[in-house]
Amino acid sequence: MEQLSPKERQNFVHQTCRLLRRVEFLLLVEYTEVMVPMVYVIYIATVYHLPNRKYFPYLHEMSETDLANTVRSVMIYGLLQLVSFVLLLVVLTRRFQLTPGTILRFVLHKEWRVVQGQFVLWIIYVLQSSIEHVGTDYTFKFKWLHQ
């Protein structure tokens, strides 16, 4: 490091900061890809057993077997995302000698409001948008137009 000129040192620090920011972003994306299926499984399993399930078109006529198949499919997807996340951690550790766990903890601590806000928005928008009260018709038949 002492062999570098001040300009080269500044460039080195700038490039290192850019790399760390990209790693933070990549870790956060992978973390989200692992967490979203898990949250969805918990949500769908919970709502299935609640009385307001009749207002969710995709849950209304779903049987226990269908629920189990859906949960299994989403969990397999989540497991694949977890494998992808672990592989990313291994690559970052071996190839770049980084500590991805520490970097992820740092970004979750630093950006917790953004992460929490995105999760809440996702839950409200995606999960609640299919309720009949909202008027969403994924069958595209629009029965209310023909009445």
Tell me if residue 138 falls in helix, strand or coil.
Answer: coil
User: For residue 91, what pLDDT is reported?
Assistant: 93
User: For residue 121, what pLDDT is reported?
Assistant: 87
Give a yes or no: residue 98 inside a domain: yes
Length of the chain: 147
When pLDDT is cut at 50, 70 and 90, the band that residue 38 belongs to is very high
User: For residue 133, what pLDDT is reported?
Assistant: 63
DSSP symbols for 23-67: HHHHHHHHHHHHHHHHHHHHHHHHHHTSGGGGG-HHHHT--HHHH
Give a yes or no: residue 145 inside a domain: no
Domain that holds residue 85: 6-134
Give a yes or no: residue 142 inside a domain: no
Give a yes or no: residue 146 inside a domain: no
Give a yes or no: residue 139 inside a domain: no
Give a yes or no: residue 70 inside a domain: yes
Residue 83: is its pLDDT beyond 90?
Answer: yes
Choose the weakest-confidence range: 34-48, 49-63, 93-107: 49-63
| Number of domains observed in the structure of the chain | 1
The pTM is what? 0.77
d(CA 31, CA 84): 10
Q: What is the pLDDT of residues 3-35, one digit of tens each?
A: 888 899 899 899 999 988 999 999 999 998 999
The alpha carbon of 32 is separated from its chain's Cα centroid by a whole number of angstroms, namely: 3
